A and B are shown apart, each in its own frame.
Chain A
Amino acid sequence: MCGIVGLFLKKEDLRPRLGEMLTDMLITMTDRGPDSAGIAIYGDEAGGLKMTVQSETPETAFAGLDTALEAALGARVTVKVIDTHAVLTLPEGTEAAARAFMAEKGLRVMGAGAAMEIFKETGLPKDVAARFGIRSMGGSHGIGHTRMATESAVTTLGAHPFSTGDDQCLVHNGSLSNHNQMRRILTEKGFAPLTQNDTEVAACYISSRLAEGANLGEALEGTLEDLDGFFTFVVGTKNGFGVVRDPIACKPAVMAETDDYVAFGSEYRALANLPGIDTARVWEPEPATVYFWER
């Protein structure tokens, strides 16, 4: 099992409530995935690159991180520590150097982008959401996941969402059966997954297709051809939000759309408290059919 929630706002006025709505949806999906939880949230752009990093020893790892990183990059940075994660703001053009710095210091990069921040940890969804203060975060869209692990260990890096490209994230309910073969193909293309997790392979696949010039819809369409196994994927990009289910469609999915938002839930329960849900268009996404929205 696993639980997925997602929310893509169409209007500005709900932006301050994004974190609150996503947190409630995520907690509702706890019994689908109590191992770990994570959220990718597309917030305000900081006028540079936001990089979310994680450490198991944040007290020591994040102490003096700003000055050390400024020295390494030769540029001003800001560091905002939130529990085991820190959101760094870096000047554009410094991502590669910053990633090298993090690798050297043993800090894990959860994701990077102009708007996206990622927070994920092992533990119950309510605890993970509280540790990072997700409830008070605003933004334009966000995707959350509650994990019941099947294909790899219960660790921070095995939690979803996976981000394998700037402002890109993917969550998954299911299991892939050709991920080892795809991992080799993607590694040759320069999109090597960092973990042994099957979902990260799907994230790398989407990133590789987007890098090759596909739009979000085409990249999602490609998963139906190239990935084998069970999947419901929900994908975020800087401006977009997409959903695709495999042709067998065992993994549940419900969507709702109003004038204000598009919402995704593994079950209707996750959507039941959204504003205007009683008059929303609610439907089950069709098997092997791509749905995506871009602003």
Chain B
Amino acid sequence: MQTIDMATAPLREVNTALQAQAAQTNQTQWVIENPRGAHAIAVGLDAPIEVTVKGSTGYYCAGMNKQATVHVTGSAGPGVAENMMSGTVIIDGDASQYAGATGHGGLLVIKGNASSRCGISMKGIDIVVHGNIGHMSAFMAQSGNLVVLGDAGDALGDSLYEARLFVRGSVKSLGSDCIEKEMRPEHLEILKDLLERAGADAKPEEFKRYGSARTLYNFHVDHAGAY
């Protein structure tokens, strides 16, 4: 196991070491100590490594992640896992605004609450929040799944495209063109898999599904397969 202490190592050294790992690396386990809310920790990774950040992080932790698993034992600042492509990011505490924004793939798990704009413009990422999410979450979300075990704030899914939103608790209000939709067997399957992978103790049947009413954008059902 490799350990880097940010009390002595500058951020650039941390990210250079992590970004240098290739697909066949033997150094698969990394621990980052004393993050103390620093910005841009473990960004741009592209190898199947596991990184544990012991503490809380600032802006943009694990941004643009590919393949790697990044586990933050504290809370994360704004923009965690922004534009993630693949891999897994797990936050034990809370996440600040726009968690998982624009993410193309991979799984983001937030064990506490996520604040406003969670999953804004998501493009294929799966996000599972054990707690609540704030206002304007999944704004213009294009594809992927957002699963919330707690409650959602105002204007959920405003101007939504084809992302699926699953909420167990209450929704304060739905945004423009976002509606509740029928939960079909295939959705229960998707939910079951995501809840399992996110270590969430909840039953798929407890959730409601929300999606786009498809009146705000130029959607044609013949193209549904493209999403």
Contacts and interface: CB of A to CB of B under 8 A. Distances in A.
B is a partner of A: yes
Interface of A: 247-250, 252, 254, 267-273, 282-284, 286-287
A271 B55 CA distance: 13
A27 to B, nearest CB: 14
Contact of A249 (B56, B57, B97): B97
A253 B68 CA distance: 29
15 contacts: A248-B116, A249-B115, A249-B116, A249-B135, A250-B97, A252-B96, A254-B96, A267-B77, A268-B58, A269-B37, A269-B38, A272-B37, A282-B56, A283-B94, A284-B96
Contacts of B52: none
Interface string B96-115: 11000000000000000001
Given A252-B77, A268-B77, 9 more contacts: A249-B97, A249-B115, A252-B78, A254-B96, A267-B58, A269-B36, A269-B58, A287-B116, A287-B135
Interface residues of B, number: 18
A272 B36 contact: yes
A68 to B, nearest CB: 49
B204 to A, nearest CB: 29
B134 A268 contact: no
B75 interface: yes
Name the prevailing secondary structure of the B interface residues: loop
Contacts of A249: 97, 115-116, 134-135
Contacts of A284: 94, 96, 115
A252 B116 CA distance: 11
Contacts of A286: 134
A271 B37 CA distance: 9
A287 B134 CA distance: 9
Nearest to B78: A252
Contacts of A248: 116
A282 B36 contact: no
Contacts of B115: 249, 284
A248 B116 CA distance: 8
Contacts of B94: 283-284
Contacts of A254: 96
B215 to A, nearest CB: 25
B37 A267 contact: yes
Interface in B43-96: 56-59, 75, 77-78, 93-94, 96
A286 B37 CA distance: 20
Q: Which of A248, A272, A282, A286 has the most CB of B within 10 A?
A: A272
Given A249-B116, A269-B58, A282 B37 contact: no
B58 A282 contact: no
A87 B37 CA distance: 36
A202 B64 CA distance: 39
Contact of A268 (B37, B97, B116, B135): B37
Nearest to A269: B37
Contacts of A287: 116, 134-135
Contacts of A282: 56, 75, 93
Contacts of A250: 97
Contacts of A269: 36-38, 58
A74 to B, nearest CB: 53
Nearest to B35: A272
Contacts of B58: 267-269
A268 B75 CA distance: 9
Contacts of A247: 135
A281 to B, nearest CB: 11
Contacts of B93: 282
B185 to A, nearest CB: 37
A283 B78 CA distance: 13
Q: Which of A273, A283, A284, A286 has the most CB of B within 10 A?
A: A284
Contacts of B36: 268-269, 272-273
Contacts of B134: 249, 286-287
